[in-house]
Structures are given as C-alpha cells and as structure tokens.
Amino acid sequence: MAAGRSIFANLLATRPASFVESLLFETKHSAAFMDKFPLVAGHTLVISKRCVLGIHELSDEEAADFGVAVARASRAVRAATGRDAYNLAAHIGEEAGQEVMHLHVHVVPRTAGDFGSCRGLFGMRRHRCSELAPQPAPLPDGAFVGDVAELRDALRAGSAATVRAGPGAPAEAATGSPP
C-alpha cells in the first residue's frame, strides 16, 4: 500500500474546481482525467480510487474495473484527438520511476516524429529533448475555455460513446460505469 495520501487521493477527496474541470469519467473503482502537465494534447491519466502503489494490490474486482477504465480512456483519446497511435505507461515502484505513489496509467496520443529521435516517454519531463514538438501549456487552475475546453468535451464525449458492455452492445450513458 502506498504510504500517506497521494495527490490523486487528495484530488478525489477534495475535488477542487480544476480537477472537476479535467475529470473525464469515473467508475466504481477508477477515475480518468486530463493530465495537468500534458506531454501532448489529449494526455490522460487513469487512476485507481483506492490509493495503492500498483495493480497487484487491487482486488480482482478493482483490477477489472481499472482495466476497463484504461480501455475506455484509450478509446476516448483516439476519438478526441484523431490519432490511432498511443502509449500506455505505468511505473510501479520508485525504482521503476514512479513519482506519484498511487496507481495510475498515462494514455498519451502519438504522431510520427512528435518526440523526434528521443527514446522513452516520461523521462522527457525532467530531461527535455531539443527535438520534442512543443508541449501544451499546463492545464488552467480555473474554468477551461477555448481549445482546452473543446478537447476536454471531446474526451468526455468519446469516453461516453465508446463504452461497451461487450461485442456489439450499445454504448452506455455518459454517467454509466463499466460492467
């Protein structure tokens, strides 16, 4: 179990306006929201609601819910950004590079050449590569407007429209949670 209370646990507990603005959807055991410091537009985080270090600490029910939430967020990112390629990344444990000791997966839409010849994805936050495409500005602390609000709305719409109960099943309502 992760020691103390993480920033993600604090966001879930206190629900500041900036978090509510970036929130895409919640399920019984997970939540997805726009990354405050995106690598590219559409960069999304999926977190477990229970503060644990890694997926191995979740119950089977929580892990299944988390997996469905990652899939739902991935579909939303593809739909909202129009990009077919994306990275899923999770670092579990300090030795693996985990900085926030709370289970989370990054969903990062990609395009050819967006990171130049730089290898790796998340080390770039600390060790900027000169070949990187310009990164979006951090998300605002207040109400989202303009392009950021449009992207958030597209991500929300994509996450609601792409959830399926199974092959060929109808999409769930925006407030519905995966089975």
Catalytic pick among 29, 43, 102, 104: 104
Question: What is the rounded average pLDDT of the residues 35-60?
Answer: 96
The residue among 5 and 130 whose pLDDT is bigger is 5
Query: Does any domain span residue 95?
Result: yes
Query: Does any domain span residue 172?
Result: no
Q: Work out the pLDDT band at 28, boundaries 50, 70, 90.
A: very high
Question: What is the rounded average pLDDT of the residues 119-139?
Answer: 60
Query: Does any domain span residue 173?
Result: no
CA distance 136 to 114: 12
For the chain, give the mean pLDDT.
Answer: 83
CA distance 131 to 138: 20
Q: Work out the pLDDT band at 119, boundaries 50, 70, 90.
A: low
Quote the pTM value: 0.79
Q: Which residues contact residue 131 at a Cβ distance below 8 angstroms, ignoring those fewer than 6 apart?
A: 115, 116, 117, 118
Query: Does any domain span residue 130?
Result: yes
User: Angle 27-162-171 (CA atoms, 0-180°, nearest 5)?
Assistant: 85
Instruction: Tell me, yes or no, if 104 is annotated catalytic.
Output: yes
Residue 145 pLDDT > 60: yes
Q: Are 77 and 69 in contact (CB under 8 A)?
A: no
Query: Does any domain span residue 178?
Result: no
Q: Work out the pLDDT band at 165, boundaries 50, 70, 90.
A: very low
Residue 118 belongs to domain spanning: 7-161
Q: Work out the pLDDT band at 126, boundaries 50, 70, 90.
A: very low
So what's the pLDDT on residue 171?
41
Q: Work out the pLDDT band at 133, boundaries 50, 70, 90.
A: low
Q: Are 101 and 2 in contact (CB under 8 A)?
A: yes
The number of folded domains in the chain is 1
Output the domain CATH number for residue 17.
3.30.428.10
Residue 113 pLDDT > 80: no
